Amino acid sequence: MVGEVKRSVRVAERVRQEIATVLDRDVEDPRLRRVVITRVEVSDDLQHARVLVRLSHDDSPEQRKNALRGLKGASAMLRRKLGAKLELRRTPELKFVFDDGQDAQTRVEALLAEIASGKTRQD
């Protein structure tokens, strides 16, 4: 039908909202204080959720690793809380991945600005 959104897309948005709320209210781990959930992709069978995350500011590779370790450690608790909120037969398994999309966008914008100003990089 026209205008109808796939169930997996609706569930993904709900998962994103609930994880963000739990991270904000219930998690004490200092590695997770600056984690921002940018997007969630849920499989069509609703069994798996790929959670894309970023750090709110000034992230180094070490901070990214620590945040992903913290999320992996908290995934059972997050999944349990999701199960209580979502009305699904089975709560999706969570896989946390760092979202590099913003980094790529920043690089492209910098290259375009360089080209526009006439300063091409000599390799």
Tokens linked to 77 = 């608790």
- Chain centre to alpha carbon of residue 71: 11
Parent domain of 112: 7-116
Characterize the bridge pairing of strands 35-42 and 93-98. unpaired
Task: State the chain's mean pLDDT as an integer.
Answer: 87
In this structure, what are the phi and psi dihedrals at residue 4, rounded to the nearest 5 degrees?
A: -90, 135
Quick: pLDDT tens for 39-87.
999 999 999 999 999 998 767 889 999 999 999 999 999 999 999 999 8
Q: What CATH code is carried by the domain that includes residue 95?
A: 3.30.300.20
CB atoms within 10 A of CB 97: 13
Looking at the structure of the chain, the number of domains it has is 1
Prediction pTM value: 0.78
